[in-house]
Structures are given as C-alpha cells and as structure tokens.
Structure 1
Amino acid sequence: MKGNPKNLNRGLDCDVIVAEVRATSHKPDEIYGIIERLSPGTRKIELFGRPHNVQPNWITLGNQLDGIRLVDPELITQFQKRYPDGNCMSPAAAVVATGQTATASSTVKK
C-alpha cells in the first residue's frame, strides 16, 4: 500500500489463513475478502493475475488473461480516449456490463 491511508480497517481479521494447499501461485480465496474488508470502497489490483483469480471490482493484470475487459465506467472512458479504436470488453462482458453488444471494431493487443 502506498502512502499513509487513513481509512484502513485494522484489527478486523485474524493474521492466520487456514486453507487447503492449491496449485502453485493459487492464492486462497479467503485473501480477497480480507483485502476487501481491510480497505473497502477502494480500487484493488491483482498483478500476475490468471483466469482463476479475476475478481469483481479489481483490476487484474497478467499475461495469461484473454483480452481486455473493463467494467468500471471511469476506466472505460480513459481506455477509449487512449485507444479510440480499441475494444475494452469481450462481447460477453459488454452485454453483461452495459446490456448492449460491444461495437468497437478492433482489439488492442497486449
């Protein structure tokens, strides 16, 4: 965490997570709830994300993810300013997020 955030909910959760051992680099699902409770209402980022650990309302970056899918209106606006011809959502995600099919004609490559 950068800076000195004042809105941290300290002391809410235990410091120990008991979970079954999973595949390499596969975090326990409980960690996401702990992070959400620690800093509610803030943006979170998952670096080196994989398809199994994409979380709602998180920014997930990783070379094993398919395409670009944004659902936050502010991020969509910023993306479209930077890449006016880019598609920032897969067709299925666009329908869920907006109720309409995505109309962008190309996809920005990572």
Structure 2
Amino acid sequence: SGKSEQELQDLAAYFDNQEMPLSQANPDLIEQGAALYRGGNMASGVPACAGCHSPQGKGNEPGGYPRLSGQNAEYISKQLNAYRGGERATGSNAAIMMDVAAKLTDAEIEAVANYVSGLH
C-alpha cells in the first residue's frame, strides 16, 4: 500500500473516532437476534455474542474481537456463513468463530446479523 506503519496507525485512529452509521434493523427479527446476541443458545451450545463483542457491540480491541454495532446485516451474515463453511479460517479468533458459527442455523444467522446492524 506504500503507507508507513505510522500512517496506517493514524488512519486507524481517524476511523476509530468517526461516528458509526447505524443500519436499519428488521423489527421482525430483533427479539430473536437480541436473545441470541445477549444469551446465546444453550440448547445448541452457542455462546452469547456479547461475551466477546460487548453488550453494546463495541468489541474488545485488546482481545481481537471486532466492533459489530452498526455493521451491515448482509456483511455479518456473509461472514458468519463463511466461518460456518470454513472459507474464513484466518485471524487470531477464527477457530472460535468457526466453532460458534457451526452451531448456528440459517435463521439464527439472519436474526443476529440483523440485530447487530441496529445495535448501538
């Protein structure tokens, strides 16, 4: 990219301080998505998303857990499906997310992706 380490850090700091645009969540899926995000699914062994990504979806930068709040629902759904299918297998927490996503149904992926798009 031709950018120095300092330039990349400056860019990251700039974007980190910007207001996050919030997507519009589908009201029909909010309740299911919220329940999954906050409490997981004990029956299928899915942990609460909030445990790593924070209750507000702000993530945990030192732990390598990214911000989810305001992300596009289609993007989140695509990433969860990529983890579930094994296509996204890189990064420090990929193994965790592949395990979690393997236990999610299509409906759960849609609901939680929709929920985080409006989370703030």
Q: Same fold (TM over 0.5)?
A: no
Which structure dedicates a bigger proportion of its chain to helix? 2
- Greater length-normalized contact order (CA 8 Å, ≥ 6 residues apart): 2
With normalisation by structure 1, the TM-score equals: 0.28
Which structure is higher in strand share? Answer: 1
